[in-house]
Amino acid sequence: MRDDAGSILDPAAKALRNVSPNMLSLIALIIAVLSGFALYFSFWSWETLLPIASVLVIVSGFFDAVDGRVARLSGKISRRGDFLDHVLDRYADVVMIGAVAVSMWCNPYIGILALLGVLLTSYMGTQAQAVGAGRLYRGLLGRADRVVLMCVIPLIQWAVMFFGDGRIDFGPISLSVFELMMLWFGIVGNLTAIQRAVEVWKKIK
């Protein structure tokens, strides 16, 4: 729904057109770091930190989504800006998802799988551009999908905590809501990476 989001992001971009796009990218990273802290420590103070983390994730995602539109609107598009945006996005991904991966909410092996899926998905997208196949955003799990899930899942985990220990039983297996999200990132993320790799392979010789 990237194109449909324009009705929300374009007015915001016009309001922020005098702000440096690189500064907006940096603000997105700073807020992502704050959300990472909130996610990590939320196990011990879930009543307050889970909703706060959810808000911080979506605010970070907003600034990340609007920086490119501000660059186009203000005529400040540059290769350096595009490079910086991608670098900061990867740091934001690692901080937010890594915070969950090493937190008490998640089995670390599931966390590693999630990080691999997310980073390989993003790598395949930028590698496509590097070999001349164009930037790839398509796939089962893009960054916008991850931001939405990272916003919604803390709220679901928060709600589930009121009815028990915050875990869901699947027969002999018990998983937190966060672990379900991380499994999704790991499995579907790697499938997306493969999907993008196949698409790039078909385009290049």
* Residue of 192 and 37 predicted with greater confidence: 37
Q: Could you tell me the sign of the dihedral formed by the alpha carbons of 173, 184, 188, 94, in that order?
A: negative
Q: Could you give the percent of the chain with pLDDT greater than 70? A: 93
Q: Which band of pLDDT confidence, cut at 50, 70 and 90, is reported for residue 3?
A: low
In this structure, which amino acid lies at residue 176?
S
List domains and CATH numbers for the chain.
Answer: 6-203 (1.20.120.1760)
DSSP codes joined into one string, 112-143: HHHHHHHHHHHHHHHHHHHTTS-----SSS-H
Residue 65 contacts residue 129 (beta carbons within 8 Å): no
**The pLDDT of residue 2:** 58
- Tokens found for residue 127: 């590698």
pLDDT at 5: 66
Percent of the chain, pLDDT > 90? 59
- Higher-confidence residue of 73 and 159: namely 159
**Under 8 Å CB-to-CB from 174, ≥6 apart: which residues?**
167, 168
Give the residue-averaged pLDDT of 161-171. Answer: 91
Q: What is the spatial distance between Cα 136 and Cα 141, in angstroms, rounded to a whole number?
A: 12
Task: Yes or no: say if 136 and 196 are a contact pair by the CB < 8 Å rule.
Answer: yes
Residue-wise pLDDT tens digits, 69-128: 898 888 888 888 888 988 999 999 999 999 999 999 999 999 999 999 999 988 887 777
What Cα–Cα distance (Å) separates residue 88 from each residue in 30, 61, 95?
10, 12, 10
How far is CA 92 from each of CA 32, 71, 95, 137, rounded to the nearest angstrom?
6, 20, 5, 18
Average pLDDT over the chain, rounded to whole?
90
**Residues, the chain:** 205
What is the pLDDT, as a whole number, of residue 86? 86
Q: How far apart are CA 30 and CA 96, in angstroms?
A: 11
| The pLDDT of residue 139 is above 90 | no
